[in-house]
Structure 1
Amino acid sequence: MADEDRGDPRGNLAQKLRHLHWTQRGLGNQMLSYEDIATGVTRATGRKCGETYIEKLFTGQPVRHPDPERLEAILTQFGKTPADLEDRGDPHGTFGQRLQHLRYQYGQERGKPLIHEEIAEHVRRYTGRSCRAEYIGQLLNDREPNGLAKDKIEALAAFFKVSPAYFFDDEKSRADQQKLEAQDALLSALQELREVGGDFAAAFRQPNPGQAMSPQDMLQLATEIRAYVGALREQGSEPHA
């Protein structure tokens, strides 16, 4: 069989299945036939599974993704579980790779993969804000278009029982953490300003108009707003109800 047919243990589902098909051989160094795999799935699930479906699934042709029971029946024939297909991530890599590593470990401990919606549901409960499974997928692939949200990172850390600092050990991640902390400080200062009924225009001074503020700019602005709020309080301003 040609090298390109050997699959890829780090690829998509079809590539991972081809890799198992190539490496997990039986007696006489023979690979299971698609017919044998389909027969095993039918026997294990009690639902008919055709050879054509298995062939399409393994070769990457358009076909319905197997439901959990059918996927488990396929993998059992290679001595694997769905959790074995999971990307293991990297505890020393990017934010997404670290999150994927936690997700993989969680799936290994409970014996089945942790789906995105389970994580999203926890984030919704923790933050009281919207969170979709698609957002979790974006985080796992380091493709979150709107930047990282501090409260959602804290929710993820709580879910996996790690410190939020777990996600921020490399240079890029530390920069992301600094930005999040600066954003949080600025938002808190603006909330204090709102509570005392201060003049937003008088307090807000963007250091470099027309440019995105750096974490240092945000921290400086937060300091100035709090000084303005402190002056208003000394003058006897009463917080608005």
Structure 2
Amino acid sequence: MSGAAEQGAGGEASRTLAQKIEHLFETAAPNGQKAPSHEDVATAINIAAGERAISGTYIWQLRTGRKTNPTKKHLEALARYFGVSPAYFLDNEQAQRIDEQLALLQALKQSDVRNIALRAHGLSDSSRQTLAGVVSHLRKLEGLGEDPGSHNDGA
């Protein structure tokens, strides 16, 4: 894995391994709480593996780009810890799809977002489309850019 971002097949910039690991650390923390430490992650991985499989220092090296060529075993262990497929680290399209799912999970952790989703349950297709239009309009007004769910077919 290289240390610099490269262009993906669709022209999008692909992220480095370090950037992907950093993103997982950022999204792993519940709202308002700090992210797990490198030692916390290593300890959890080692307990799950029943052996010393990885160190906090090595995780830090991967996260900061000082190490860029981990073993399959290390990538699988990190993927298990963060609840993603190992393909997240190897396939940029998979990483993008997983990031979209992580963003949805992060949003649903916010009680007000969850409340809106629950209150929309049972509405007609037409009403849900109207609600989606209102949300898109509010996102534009607040300068939030493209609606993260707009890539989906409403499913």
Report the TM-score range of the alignment, normalised by the length of the smaller protein: 0.3 to 0.5
TM-score by length of 2: 0.44
Q: Higher RCO, 1 or 2 (CA under 8 Å, sep at least 6)? A: 2
Larger Rg: 1
TM-score by length of 1: 0.30
